[in-house]
Chains A and B, each alone.
Chain A
Amino acid sequence: MRVPIMKQRDVLIASIQDSLTDADLLALRDRVVEQVTRFRSRGVILDVTGLDVIDSFAAHTLSMTAQMIRLRGAQTVIVGIQPDVAIAMVQLGLTLLGIHTALDLEAGLEYLNTVAKRSRPNAR
């Protein structure tokens, strides 16, 4: 399944609508990192609302994606982790260490705007 990636000014929004195979997750990682470079994006929102399960592979791939995006100078926020998925992740011992998470798209955008203001103190 190909995940749609939308560009909203300098933020990319990838909305995962359905469960993904390992290959789909890796393809998403590569496309997001490529588009951050192409569009000079400052932020990426990975909306995982549609993921039925975040297992060790998915958690690892999401962490890797965020690290790669950071190396390109942009910020990543993961939004939409479902309550049941969060419960299973904690029991499995999975963490998304060093990645900012937010409740939903709105909260994710708010976070990216706050970060942007902080890094440009004179911006109006």
Chain B
Amino acid sequence: MPVDLRIPIRTDADIVRARQEGRALASEIPFTSSDLTVIASAISELARNIYSYAGQGEIEVRLVERNGRRGIQVVARDEGPGILDTALALEDGYSTAGRLGLGLPGVRRLFDEFELKSEAGVGTEVLMHKWAR
């Protein structure tokens, strides 16, 4: 599947760029303006996780269609230290970096589909979809 948008995450300015360009791409399909802010917020959290935990990685955004519904796919990928316990990382309030720990559980609530794959020492990939209503 072709990628509509790929943004390398290396600096904190890339976090802002990823969420703004992701939002602009999502605005091509009939998402509400609050959906667009939700999408931008989720991309921001994922990009920050890459920047904070892995140092660098990338965000990919695609416009997708399934069963006649249009939506957006977001992939966040890094080759960082990985997450030892992915189930624990999805619990509200959990964080290893001493921050708020609201990132992943919150992001999962914002999207319709959410998949987290991670292997210690190999990296982390988050794949998610949100469908336009």
Taken residue by residue from 1 to 32, chain B's Cβ proximity to chain A (1 for < 8 Å, 0 otherwise) reads as 00000000000110110011001000000000
A94 touches B99 (CB 8 A): no
Q: Label chain B's interface by main secondary structure.
A: helix
The tally of CB-CB contacts under 8 A between chains A and B is: 75
Chain B hits for A82, CB < 8 A: 37
Q: B45 is contacted by which of A22, A56, A83, A85 (Cβ under 8 Å)?
A: A56
Binds A, one of B61-69, B76-84, B103-111: B103-111
**Known contacts A22-B15, A55-B48, A59-B100, A88 near B20 by CB under 8 Å:** no
Question: What CA separation (Å) do A94 and B102 show in the bound complex?
Answer: 8
A56 touches B38 (CB 8 A): no
Closest to B32 in A: A84
Q: Label chain A's interface by main secondary structure.
A: helix
Chain A hits for B16, CB < 8 A: 19-21
| Chain B nearest CB, measured from A1 CB (Å) | 10
A21 touches B12 (CB 8 A): yes
Question: What CA separation (Å) do A17 and B106 show in the bound complex?
Answer: 26
With an 8 Å Cβ cutoff, the count of chain B residues facing the other chain is 27
B92 at the A interface (CB under 8 A): yes
| Chain A nearest CB, measured from B40 CB (Å) | 5
Chain B hits for A91, CB < 8 A: 38, 106, 109-110
A71 at the B interface (CB under 8 A): no
Chain A hits for B107, CB < 8 A: 92
Question: What CA separation (Å) do A14 and B106 show in the bound complex?
Answer: 28
Question: What CA separation (Å) do A91 and B48 show in the bound complex?
Answer: 18
Closest to A59 in B: B100
**Known contacts A52-B20, A56-B100, A57-B99, A92 near B45 by CB under 8 Å:** yes
Chain B hits for A59, CB < 8 A: 100
Interface residues of A (CB under 8 A from B): 19-23, 52-57, 59-60, 82-85, 87-89, 91-94
12 further A-B pairs in the complex, CB-CB below 8 A; given A19-B16, A85-B37? A23-B12, A52-B19, A53-B37, A56-B45, A56-B103, A59-B100, A88-B37, A88-B38, A88-B110, A91-B110, A92-B102, A92-B110
Pairs A-B, 10 closest by C-beta atoms: A92-B106, A84-B37, A22-B12, A88-B41, A55-B44, A84-B34, A21-B12, A87-B34, A88-B37, A88-B38
